[in-house]
Structure 1
Amino acid sequence: MKILGKFLLRRKKGLLLLVFCSIVVVALSLLNTNYIARVTDDTYRVTNGSISKNAYLSGLTDATIIMVIIMLVMAIANIASGYFAGKISVSVAEDIRNAIYEKALTFSLKEMNDISIPSMITRSTGDVISIQNALYLTLTTALSVPFLIVGGILGVLSLGKALLALLILGVVLVISIFIALVIKLGPLYASFMSLIDGLNKVTREGLSGIQILRALNREKWNSKRIQQTSQQIKDISLSVDIAQAVMQPTMYLVINIIDILAIWVCYYFSDKGFFEIGDIVAFINYLFMTLSGIIVGAMVGIQLPSSFICMSRISEVLEKELSIKDGKEEDVSNLSNYDVCFDNVSFRYSDDAGFVVRDISFTAKQGELTVITGNTGCGKTTLMQLIPRLYDATKGTITIGGVDVKKMKLNDLRSFIGYVPQRVFLHTGDVRFNISYRDKDYNDETILESAELSQSLSFIDEKEKRFEEWISQGGSNFSGGQKQRLTIARALSGSPKVLILDDSASALDLETGVKLRDALLSIVGDISIIFITQRLSIIKNADKVVLMKDGEICEQGTYEELSEHSDTFREILQSQMGA
Structure 2
Amino acid sequence: MLGKLLVRYLKTYRWFLAGVLIFQFISAMASLYLPRLNADIIDKGVAQGDTGYIWSTGTMMLGISLCQIVASIIATYFAARAAMSAGRDIRRDVYDKVSAFSEREVSQFGPGSLITRNTNDVQQVQMLAMMGATMLVTAPLLAIGGVVMALQQDVGLSWLIGVAVPLLLVVAGLIISRMVPLFRSFQKKLDAVNRVMREQLTGVRVVRAFVRERIEEERFREANTDILVVGRKVGSLFVLLFPLAMLVLNVTVVGVIWFGGIQVDSGAVQIGTLFAFMQYVGQILMGVLMASFMTIMIPRAAVSAERIGEVLASESTLTRAADPVTRFPEPGSLQLRDVEFTYPGAESPVLQGIGFEAARGETVAIVGSTGSGKTTLVSLIPRLFDATGGEVRVGGVDVRQADLDELWKGIGLVPQRPFLFTGTVASNLRFGREEATDDDLWKALEIAQGSDFVAEMEGQLEARISQGGTNVSGGQRQRLAIARAIVHQPDILVFDDSFSALDLSTDARLRQALWRELPEVTKIVVAQRVSTITEADRIVVLEDGRMVGLGTHEELLANNATYREIVESQLGVEA
> Which bin holds the TM-score, normalised by the shorter protein?
over 0.9
TM-score, structure 2 as length reference: 0.94
* 1:39/1:60 contact within 8 Å kept: yes
The change in CA–CA distance for 1:162 and 1:403 in structure 2 (over 3 A counts) is farther
**Which residue in the other structure is 1:241 paired with?**
235
**Which residue in the other structure is 1:12 paired with?**
14
* 2:324/2:401 contact within 8 Å kept: no
* 2:360/2:520 contact within 8 Å kept: yes
Secondary structure of the 1:406 match is coil
Matched, 1:178 2:180: no
Query: How far apart are the structure 2 equivalents of 1:439 and 1:312?
Result: 38
* Number of residues of Structure 1 aligned to a counterpart in Structure 2: 571
**Which residue in the other structure is 1:81 paired with?**
75
**Which residue in the other structure is 2:485 paired with?**
491
Unaligned runs of at least 5 residues, structure 2: none
Query: How far apart are the structure 1 equivalents of 2:455 and 2:209?
Result: 35
* 1:181/1:302 contact within 8 Å kept: no
For 1:281, give the aligned amino acid. F
Matched, 1:548 2:550: no
The change in CA–CA distance for 1:336 and 1:200 in structure 2 (over 3 A counts) is closer
Matched, 1:298 2:292: yes
* 1:451/1:489 contact within 8 Å kept: yes
**Which residue in the other structure is 1:461 paired with?**
455
For 2:224, give the aligned amino acid. S
The change in CA–CA distance for 1:500 and 1:481 in structure 2 (over 3 A counts) is same
**Which residue in the other structure is 1:506 paired with?**
500
Comparing 484-493 and 80-89, the one that deviates more: 80-89
Secondary structure of the 1:100 match is helix
Query: How far apart are the structure 2 equivalents of 1:403 and 1:347?
Result: 19
Secondary structure of the 1:321 match is coil
For 1:575, give the aligned amino acid. S
* 2:253/2:278 contact within 8 Å kept: yes
For 1:574, give the aligned amino acid. E
The superposition leaves residues 383-425 of structure 1 with CA deviations (integer Å, 9 ceiling, x where unpaired) of 1111111111111111123311101121111111111111110
Matched, 1:36 2:30: no
* Distance apart, 1:22 and its partner CA: 0.8
**Which residue in the other structure is 1:3 paired with?**
5
**Which residue in the other structure is 2:313 paired with?**
319
User: What are the residue-to-residue correspondences of 1:319-338 with 2, within 5 Å?
Assistant: 319-338=313-332
* Distance apart, 1:87 and its partner CA: 2.3
Comparing 286-295 and 85-94, the one that deviates more: 85-94
Query: How far apart are the structure 2 equivalents of 1:307 and 1:225?
Result: 28
For 2:564, give the aligned amino acid. R
**Which residue in the other structure is 2:192 paired with?**
198
Comparing 65-74 and 303-312, the one that deviates more: 303-312
**Which of these residues, 90, 113, 120, is aligned with residue 114 of structure 2?**
120
The change in CA–CA distance for 1:216 and 1:337 in structure 2 (over 3 A counts) is closer
Comparing 437-446 and 492-501, the one that deviates more: 437-446
Secondary structure of the 2:482 match is helix
* 2:328/2:397 contact within 8 Å kept: no
Question: Taking every aligned residue pair, what percent have the same amino acid on both sides?
Answer: 33
Secondary structure of the 1:10 match is helix
**Which residue in the other structure is 2:249 paired with?**
255
* Distance apart, 1:176 and its partner CA: 2.5
Secondary structure of the 1:81 match is helix
Comparing 524-533 and 155-164, the one that deviates more: 155-164
Matched, 1:416 2:410: yes
Query: How far apart are the structure 2 equivalents of 1:351 and 1:205?
Result: 24
User: What are the residue-to-residue correspondences of 1:531-546 with 2, within 5 Å?
Assistant: 531-546=525-540
Query: How far apart are the structure 1 equivalents of 2:517 and 2:339?
Result: 28
* Distance apart, 1:157 and its partner CA: 3.2
For 1:144, give the aligned amino acid. T
Query: How far apart are the structure 1 equivalents of 2:89 and 2:40?
Result: 49
* 2:354/2:546 contact within 8 Å kept: yes
Query: How far apart are the structure 1 equivalents of 2:457 and 2:248?
Result: 74
Query: How far apart are the structure 2 equivalents of 1:67 and 1:119?
Result: 53
User: What are the residue-to-residue correspondences of 1:54-453 with 2, within 5 Å?
Assistant: 56-263=50-257, 266=260, 275-453=269-447
Comparing 392-401 and 157-166, the one that deviates more: 157-166
* 1:142/1:294 contact within 8 Å kept: no
The superposition leaves residues 27-83 of structure 1 with CA deviations (integer Å, 9 ceiling, x where unpaired) of 111111111121222257x3xxxx4x3xx2222121101001011111111221222
